[in-house]
Amino acid sequence: MLRKPQAPPCPALIGHVRRRTGLTNRAIRFYEDRGMVVSTRDRLGRRSYDERAIERLVYIALGRQAGLQVSELQMLLEIGDRDGMAQRTARTEEAYRTRLAELEDQRRAVQRSAENLGLALERDRPRLRAQPEKGNPSSQTSIDCWAKMPAIAPCDDARVTDGGVMGLARSPAA
């Protein structure tokens, strides 16, 4: 008989925190050593984390996934502690917007570099639109191939099967 999952005990042990945040034990301890989260010790000496610590670790994990630096996240957490969540949220949004601008600058630099090498990354990228096959919507998928691709001519009806794409015609040799 399956039981409904119960809410994790709070405070939670590091294993539960690891599963909930996606962080490794080492990373959790690193953030604790930096003063970004606080744990307590149970009677057996194991680290345990309350809901506030888990929330902070989730925030850190998401920030790191977005490419924010640990020092930046530490500063944002300190702003939240000092000035409140509204200020932390506003400053976090600002940091994410800055990160997006940096990534866009990097994307443009990669594009320029590729163009200088004679590579056409953007304009020759295939675009595929999946559609059910006529008469049998649950089987294979019909693909509308309308992208310009070197060495492969556009096709009217390529089908995706378990083995890959079938029905692509090779361009005639020039």
Model pLDDT, residue 7: 53
Model pLDDT, residue 121: 79
Chain mean pLDDT for the chain = 76
Model pLDDT, residue 144: 35
Structure tokens at 141: 């998928």
Confirm if 149 and 126 have CB atoms less than 8 A apart: yes
The torsion angles phi and psi of 44, rounded to 5 degrees, stand at -95, 0
Model pLDDT, residue 133: 52
Model pLDDT, residue 11: 82
How would you write 125-149 as a 3-class SS string? CCCEEEEEECCEEEEEEEEEECCCE
CATH topology of domain 12-116: Multidrug-efflux Transporter Regulator; Chain: A; Domain 2 (1.10.1660)
Model pLDDT, residue 9: 57
pLDDT tens profile 42-59: 889 999 999 999 999 999
User: Would you call 37 helix, strand, or coil by DSSP?
Assistant: coil
Structure tokens at 101: 């601008």
**Spatial distance between the Cα atoms of 11 and 49, rounded to a whole number of angstroms:** 5
H or E element that contains 27? helix 25-33
Task: Write out the residue limits of the CATH 1.10.1660.10 domain(s) in the chain.
Answer: 12-116
Which residue type sits at 44?
L
Model pLDDT, residue 42: 87
Please report which residue ranges of 45-168 form alpha helices under DSSP H.
51-65, 70-83, 85-116
pLDDT beneath 70: ranges in the chain: 1-10, 122-174
